[in-house]
C-alpha cells in the first residue's frame, strides 16, 4: 500500500509554494499586515482563482470536491509562506458545517460563494473548547446574547458562524447586525485577523440546521479546524527549519560556516527528527477525518496536541540557530515563530487536547 502523497497532491503543494514565493513573499506580507492584522491585499482573491477556497466544496456547488488531506496540504503550504487570508474559517470550517448541517437551499446559495471568495464567513468557535469567565453565546427569546473571543478570520468577514448554547446550535449572523459589537483583537500573529464579538439581542440571519440540532456538525467543524491548525503549524515549522539551515550554511565564524559546527548540526537534526513523525500524524488525522469517522476526533486532538508542542520547539530552536539576529524584527523568522505560537492556543492548547483525547478513549471520566 502506498502511503505517499499522490502526484496531484504534490503538485498542489508545489504550485501553492511557487505562487507564494512569486506573488506573496514575506516582504509583501510585512507590508500587508503592517496596519491591519489579517489584511491580504488581494492575495485571497488570487488564491480563490487558483481554487484554494473551494477545495472542500462539492463539485456540484462549484468547488473541487476534494478531501481533508488536500486541505491539510494546502494549509501546510500557506503557513510555509506565512500567507494571510481566511483559509481556516472560510475554506475549511464553514464549508464543513454547511455540508454537515446546511439545508440544500443553504448549500446551493452559500457554498458557491465561499468557493469563489465572494463570501467570507468567520467562525466563533473558541468557547467550544475553553472560555474566559462568562463568555459564550446563548439564545434567549430567539435572539443571541453573550460574548465570544478570538473569532477566527474576522477581518473582512461578511457573516459570522456562531455556535450557541455550547455547540447545540449554529447561527449565521450578518456583520453589522443591530446589537452586534465587533472589536479587533490583535495577537502577536498579524497574518490573521481575530475579533471579539458582543451580542446584545442580535437577530439570527439563519440557522445552519435546526436550532439546537447542530451538535454533530459542530463537532465535525471543530475536528476539521484542529487538523488544519496542526497542518499550519507543520508548514510554519518546516519553513523555520529551512531558514535555519540556510542561515547556518552562509553565516561564518572563525572563517567557517556555523553549519560545520557539531552543535549547530545537532540543533538542525533535532528539528528535522521532531518534524518527520509529526507530518505523518497530521496526514493520518486528515485521512481519518474522511475515511475513519470513529477515529476522526481522537486523531484530530492528537495531531493538534503534538504540533502544538513540536512546532514551538522547532521555531524556538530555529531562532537559536540564528543567534541574536533571530530575535530582531528585521529578521523575518519571527513571522513563523508568532504564527506557531498562536496556532498552539487556537481550538485547544496541548493540555486541553490531551485531556480530551483521554476522555475519548475512556481513560478519564
Cα–Cα distance measured from residue 83 to residue 29, given in angstroms and rounded to the nearest whole number: 7
With respect to residue 2, please indicate whether it lies within any of the assigned structural domains.
no
Please report whether residue 343 resides in a domain.
Answer: yes
Report the distance separating Cα 98 and Cα 192, nearest Å: 23
Separation of alpha carbons 43 and 89, rounded Å: 16
Cα gap 235→323, rounded to integer Å: 22
**Are residue 352 and residue 261 in the same domain, yes or no?**
yes
Given this model, what pLDDT does residue 245 score? 94
Per the listing, cell 471579539 goes with 196
Same domain membership, residue 139 and residue 112: no
Same domain, yes or no, for 180 and 261? no
**pLDDT, tens digit (0-9, with 9 covering 90-100), for 7-45:** 999 999 999 999 999 999 999 999 999 888 889 989 999
Same domain for 236 and 337, yes or no, is: yes
Last residue of a domain, one of 88, 119, 150: 119
List the alpha helices (DSSP H) in the chain. 7-23, 26-32, 43-49, 68-80, 94-101, 104-116, 215-248, 262-291, 293-321, 333-345, 350-360
C-alpha cell at 207: 440557522
Lowest mean pLDDT among 89-103, 114-128, 250-264: 250-264
CATH of the domain at 46: 1.10.540.10
Regarding whether 82 and 161 lie in a shared domain, the answer is no
**Position 137 in a domain:** yes
Residue-wise pLDDT tens digits, 320-361: 999 878 888 888 999 999 999 999 999 999 999 999 999 999
| Chain mean pLDDT for the chain | 93
Percentage of residues in the chain having pLDDT higher than 90: 81
- Does some domain include residue 365? no
Final residue before a domain boundary, out of 87, 119, 151? 119
Bridge partner list, 15: none
User: Cα dist. 94→28, 124, 288, 318 in Å?
Assistant: 28, 11, 19, 34
> Looking at the domain assignment, is residue 1 inside a domain?
no
Assess whether pLDDT exceeds 70 at residue 3.
Answer: no
Q: How many domains does the chain have?
A: 3
Task: Say if residue 72 is in the same domain as residue 197.
Answer: no
Residues recorded for the chain: 365
**Is 167 found in the same domain as 303?**
no
Residue 347 has phi, psi (to 5 degrees) of: 55, 30
* pLDDT tier for residue 149 given thresholds of 50, 70 and 90: very high
Contact 348, 130 (CB under 8 A): yes
Q: Burial code of 97-129, b = ≥16 C-beta within 10 A, e = fewer? A: bbbbbbeeebbeebbbbbbbbebbbbbbbbbbb
Say yes or no: 220 and 355 in one domain: yes
Please give the pLDDT value at position 251: 83
Q: Which domain holds residue 190?
A: 122-207
Nearest to 72 by CA among 224, 297, 220: 224
* Residue 173 and residue 61 share a domain: no
- Rounded Cα distance, 161 and 159, in Å: 7
Q: Is 141 helix (H, G, I), strand (E, B) or coil?
A: coil
**Does 2 or 317 have the greater pLDDT score?**
317
Q: Which residue, 119, 141, 160, sits at the end of a domain?
A: 119
- CATH number for the domain harbouring residue 140: 2.40.110.10
Is 53 domain-assigned?
Answer: yes
Judge if 291 and 332 occupy the same domain: yes
Extract the C-alpha cell encoding 347: 481550538
Q: Which residue has the cell 455547540?
A: 167
At residue 2, the pLDDT reads 61
Which residues make Cβ contacts (< 8 Å) with residue 97, sequence separation at least 6?
Answer: 161, 170, 208, 214, 217, 218, 220, 221
Residue 246 lies in a domain: yes
pLDDT number for residue 338: 96
pLDDT at residue number 257: 85
* Same domain membership, residue 259 and residue 163: no
26 within some domain: yes
pLDDT-derived band at 1 (thresholds 50, 70, 90) equals: very low
CATH code assigned at 322: 1.20.140.10
Instruction: List, for residues 178-225, the tens digit of each pLDDT value.
Output: 999 999 998 999 999 999 999 999 999 999 988 777 899 999 999 999
> pLDDT tens-digit profile of 263-322?
989 999 999 999 999 999 999 999 999 999 999 999 999 999 999 999 999 999 999 999
* Domain shared by 319 and 222, yes or no: yes
| CB of 214 closer than 8 Å to CB of 56 | no
Half-sphere exposure of 167 (CA within 13 A, CB side): 15
Amino acid at each position: 500500500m502506498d502511503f505517499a502523497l499522490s502526484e496531484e497532491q504534490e503538485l498542489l503543494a508545489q504550485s501553492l509554494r511557487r505562487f507564494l514565493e512569486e506573488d506573496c513573499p514575506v516582504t509583501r506580507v510585512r507590508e500587508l499586515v503592517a496596519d491591519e492584522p489579517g489584511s491580504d491585499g488581494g492575495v485571497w482573491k488570487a488564491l480563490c482563482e487558483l481554487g484554494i477556497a473551494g477545495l472542500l466544496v462539492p463539485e456540484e456547488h462549484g468547488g473541487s470536491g476534494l478531501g481533508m488531506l488536500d486541505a491539510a496540504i494546502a494549509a501546510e503550504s500557506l503557513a510555509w509562506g506565512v500567507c494571510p487570508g481566511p483559509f481556516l474559517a472560510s475554506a475549511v470550517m464553514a464549508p464543513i458545517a454547511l455540508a454537515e448541517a446546511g439545508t440544500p437551499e443553504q448549500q446551493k446559495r452559500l457554498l458557491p460563494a465561499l468557493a469563489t471568495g465572494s463570501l467570507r464567513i468567520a467562525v466563533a468557535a473558541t468557547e467550544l473548547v475553553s472560555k474566559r469567565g462568562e463568555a459564550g453565546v446563548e439564545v434567549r427569546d430567539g435572539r443571541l446574547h453573550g460574548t465570544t473571543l478570538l473569532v477566527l478570520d474576522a477581518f473582512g468577514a461578511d457573516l459570522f458562524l456562531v455556535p450557541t448554547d455550547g455547540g447545540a446550535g449554529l447561527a449565521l449572523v450578518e456583520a453589522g447586525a443591530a446589537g452586534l459589537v465587533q472589536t479587533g483583537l490583535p495577537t502577536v500573529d498579524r497574518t490573521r485577523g481575530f475579533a471579539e464579538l458582543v451580542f446584545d439581542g442580535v437577530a439570527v440571519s439563519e440557522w445552519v440546521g435546526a436550532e439546537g440540532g447542530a451538535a454533530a456538525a459542530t463537532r465535525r467543524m471543530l475536528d476539521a479546524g484542529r487538523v488544519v491548525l496542526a497542518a499550519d503549524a507543520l508548514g510554519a515549522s518546516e519553513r523555520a527549519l529551512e531558514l535555519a539551515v540556510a542561515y547556518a550554511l552562509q553565516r561564518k565564524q572563525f572563517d567557517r560556516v556555523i553549519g560545520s559546527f557539531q552543535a549547530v548540526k545537532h540543533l538542525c537534526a533535532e528539528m528535522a527528527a521532531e518534524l518527520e513523525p509529526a507530518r505523518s500524524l497530521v496526514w493520518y488525522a486528515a485521512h481519518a477525518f474522511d475515511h475513519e469517522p470513529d477515529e476522526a476526533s481522537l486523531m484530530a486532538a492528537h495531531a493538534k496536541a503534538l504540533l502544538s508542542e513540536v512546532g514551538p520547539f522547532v521555531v524556538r530552536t530555529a531562532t537559536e540557530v540564528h543567534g541574536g539576529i533571530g530575535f530582531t524584527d528585521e529578521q523575518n523568522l519571527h513571522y513563523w515563530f508568532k504564527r506557531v505560537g498562536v496556532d498552539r492556543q487556537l481550538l485547544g492548547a496541548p493540555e486541553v487536547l490531551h485531556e480530551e483525547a483521554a476522555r475519548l478513549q475512556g481513560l478519564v471520566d
